[in-house]
Amino acid sequence: MMTSKERFMAVINGKKPDKIPVFPLLMGFSAKRYGITYATFAKDGIAFAEAQLSVYEKFGLDAITACSDAFRITGDLGGDLIFPDNGPPYLGAPLVKNESDFNALVKPDVHDGKTRMADRVLGVSEMAKAVGNECMVVGWVDMPFAEACSICGVSEFMMMLYDNPTLAHKILRFLTDIVIEFGVAQLKAGAPTVGAGDAAASLISPELFREFALPYEKMVCDAVHKEGGAVKLHICGNTTQLIGEMIKSNADLFNVDHLASLSYAKEMYDAAGKAFKGNIDPVEHMLQATPEKCILKVKECIEIAGDSSFMVSAGCEIPAAVSDEVFKAFCDARDL
């Protein structure tokens, strides 16, 4: 029988696992089960790790992820973050509104123990020490395009693509170096795989994606590969028109949101020899579902995937309010 880590790596490497890995994205769900506020979950790497480990032990997952929010780098660049008790932190006001703001940025040191990046690295280290031999510990970064949207504001950065593309590229290149250092630090802390979010990229056309997202995603993926790690690219939303471009990032595993066609994703990722996961609707088929309905949806996804390199997953984060009974059904459905 394979360990969870062996099962995960078999799928990544295009080999047949003993059973399909279960790899959900858990944030608020873990914090709630562990009995801590989301603010603590996002601020305290030790508490964060303990929350993820407690859910792993209770439900028998094949991977756990060091993801809590998209504002680690933004905070370390000087952004004024707000930390609600019941949800992820967010930026109070855009950090970069013009070129002068950008020029004033100072690159943070991921190894400085006072940074939010270092706190995530600490969480990765704690998870890896506890279960890294048996379970896949997945680090987390946000790709440069997503980071640019974080520091500038989503609508503001989208306008910059048209109004000042030169500045947009300067911001993206600056952030790419930080993202790479952040990802590599998590690899060295014990995460063989790094998850990479680029949700905002689902909002742009394939043409804009090719210019402003893909080159920087590829730089991150190539740097992680150079250090011996793997990358899971996570782009929420309807990515159907972007899948062909996303494959060019050289990521190893791709998340498929419920808004995209799993059949089409299978066709595309199979042709490219890539692994994928998804695409259960975390609301309709989990939050609002009975255990029986959730099981049927998981089995439907498994049937569509067939012999593909596939993992059981929701299209995005599992809501905190999903019941233990439904989540257990989600985790156990592959064996039924």
Q: Tell me, rounded to whole angstroms, the distance of Cα 330 from its chain centroid.
A: 19
Q: Which residue is it, tokens 């255990």?
A: 291
> pLDDT at position 229, please?
98
Q: What is the pLDDT of residue 113?
A: 87
pLDDT value at residue 131: 98
66-116 pLDDT per residue, tens:
999 999 999 999 999 999 999 999 999 999 999 999 999 999 999 998 999
- Residue 116: count of CB within 10 angstroms of its CB: 25
pLDDT of 130 > 90? The answer is: yes
pLDDT of residue 191: 98
Q: What is the mean pLDDT of residues 62-69?
A: 97
Residues 257 and 166: their CA atoms lie apart, in Å, by 31
pLDDT at 224: 98
Reported as a pLDDT band with limits 50, 70 and 90, residue 282 is very high
Work out the mean pLDDT of the chain and round it to a whole number.
97
> Domains of the chain (ranges plus CATH)?
20-238+313-319 (3.20.20.210)
Q: How confident is the model at residue 16 (pLDDT cuts 50, 70, 90)?
A: very high
- What is the per-residue pLDDT across 193-210, written as a single tens digit (0 to 9) for each? 999 999 999 999 999 999
**pLDDT in the model for residue 336:** 85
Query: What are the residues facing 63 on neighbouring strands?
Result: 136
Q: What is the pLDDT of residue 285?
A: 98
Q: Indicate whether 213 pLDDT > 90.
A: yes
In whole angstroms, what separates CA 4 from the centre of its chain? 19
Sheet with 193-197: list strands edge to edge: 63-65, 136-142, 193-197, 230-234, 253-256, 275-280, 310-314
For residue 323, pLDDT over 90 is answered with yes
CA-to-CA distance for 250 and 302, rounded, in angstroms?
A: 24
Going by the DSSP 8-state scheme, the letter that residue 278 receives in this structure is E
Above 90 in pLDDT, residue 153? yes
The pLDDT score that the predictor gives to residue 180 is: 98
The average pLDDT across 225-235 equals 98
pLDDT score of 91 = 96
Each residue of 284-308: pLDDT tens digit? 999 999 999 999 999 999 999 999 9
Q: What is the 3-state secondary structure (H, E, C) of the chain?
A: CCCHHHHHHHHHCCCCCCCCCECCCCCHHHHHHHCCCHHHHHHCHHHHHHHHHHHHHHHCCCEEECCCCCCHHHHHCCCCEECCCCCCCEECCCCCCCHHHHHCCCCCCCCCCCCHHHHHHHHHHHHHHHHCCCCEEEEEEECHHHHHHHHHCHHHHHHHHHHCHHHHHHHHHHHHHHHHHHHHHHHHCCCCEEEEECHHHHHCCHHHHHHHHHHHHHHHHHHHHHCCCEEEEECCCCCHHHHHHHHCCCCCEEEECCCCCHHHHHHHHHHHCCEEEEEECCHHHHHCCCHHHHHHHHHHHHHHHCCCCEEEEECCCCCCCCCHHHHHHHHHHHHC
pLDDT exceeds 90 at position 263: yes
Average pLDDT (324-334) is 98
Q: How far, in whole angstroms, is CA 256 from its chain's centroid? A: 12
Per-residue confidence band for 14, with pLDDT thresholds at 50, 70 and 90:
very high
Tell me what pLDDT residue 290 has: 98
Q: What is the mean pLDDT of residues 140-161?
A: 98
Residue 215 has pLDDT above 90, yes or no: yes
H-run or E-run covering 73: helix 72-76
